[in-house]
Amino acid sequence: MIVASPKPMEEIIDTVKDCKKLLILGCNECVTVCEAGGKKEVGVLASALRMYFAKQGRQIQIDERTLERQCDHEYLEEIRDIADTYDAILSLACGVGVQFTAEKYLATVVLPGVNTCFLGATEERGLWTERCQACGACVLAKTGGICPVSRCAKRVLNGPCGGSTNGKCEISKEVDCAWQLIVDRLTALGKMDEYEQIAPLKDWSTDRAGGPRKVVKEDVQS
C-alpha cells in the first residue's frame, strides 16, 4: 500500500488559516490502513482544528467526509454537489488522491494533509516500512524476494557495497543490510548460484528517468 504520515499541525494550520469553510476529505484505502487519512484521522484533525480556531476566536466551518477512494472518478463524483461550496478541501489521501481531487474540482483549492512516503507494509500496529519504489522493472525474482532498490540505501544491484557490518547498513545500526538479507535468503533457498550472476545494467527509464509514467491495458479500455 501507499504509506503516508500526517503533516505537522502547524503546517496544516498555516495552509488553511484563511479559510472560512473547509472540507476535510479522508480516503478509505491505504491511508486508512496506515492510520494517516481515514475516517478516524479526519475526525481527530477536524476536532483539533476547531479547537485551535475557537481559541483564536475565529469562526470557521469545518466539515468531514471520507470517500471510498480518491484515486477513482466514481467515488470523487460523490462530492460533486458540495465541492465548490468550500474555500478549500484538505485531502488526507496520498498525493494521488490530492491531485485527482484537484484535477476534478478546478474551482476549489485542494490542499494535502499528509506526506506521502513510500510503498510499504504494516510490520506491526503503528510501524510501516518501505518495500517498493515502483521502479517499473522488478528484480525480486533474482534477489530472493527482497528488493535492493527500495531496501538498500545505495540501491546497488550486485551484492553489498562494503559498508555492511554484522548485517546492518552503514547509514544506521537500525537498518538491515538488504544484501545481507538477500544472501541469507538465497542461501536458505539453495540458490546462491543466482547470486553469482552479475545483474545487467539497470534500465532506469522505467523508473523516473523517462518522465511521468503510465500503464495502458488496452484489452480493458472501453
Partner 1 sequence: MQLRDKSEAGQFIVLAEMEPPKGVDVTDFTANAIRVKDQVDAFVVPEMNSAVMRMSSLGASLILQSKGLPTVMQVNCRDRNRLGLQADLLAAGAIGVQNVMAVTGEDPSFGDHHQASAVYDIDLIELLKAVRGMTQGKDMAGVDLAGAPSFYCGSTVNAGVKGKALQLEIDEMKRKIDAGAKFFITPPVFNMSDLSDFMEKAPRAEVKVLPTVLLLKSVGMARYIDRHSDHVSVGDALIKRIMSASDKGRECAQIAADTIQAAKNAGLDGVMIATLGWEHMLPQVLNLKPTEAQDVEQDDPNTSWGKHAGGK
Residues near partner 1 (CB under 8 A) are: 201-205, 207-211
Within a 13 Å sphere around the CA of 53, how many CA atoms are in the beta-carbon half? Answer: 20
Q: What are the angstrom distances between the C-alpha of 125 and each of 118, 122, 176?
A: 17, 7, 20
Nearer to partner 1, 165 or 205 (CB): 205
The owner of cell 477512494 is 69
The least distance separating partner 1 from the CB of residue 203, rounded to whole angstroms, comes to 4
The least distance separating partner 1 from the CB of residue 202, rounded to whole angstroms, comes to 7
The least distance separating partner 1 from the CB of residue 4, rounded to whole angstroms, comes to 23
Indicate the helix (H) or strand (E) that contains 90: strand 88-91
Nearer to partner 1, 171 or 192 (CB): 171
Nearer to partner 1, 75 or 204 (CB): 204
- The edge-to-edge listing of strands for the beta sheet with 88-91 is 61-67, 21-27, 88-91, 109-112
Residues 48, 13: contact at Cβ < 8 Å? no
Question: How many Å apart are CA 177 and CA 172, to the nearest integer?
Answer: 10
The least distance separating partner 1 from the CB of residue 208, rounded to whole angstroms, comes to 7
Q: Which 8-state DSSP code applies to residue 171?
A: T
Nearer to partner 1, 190 or 200 (CB): 200
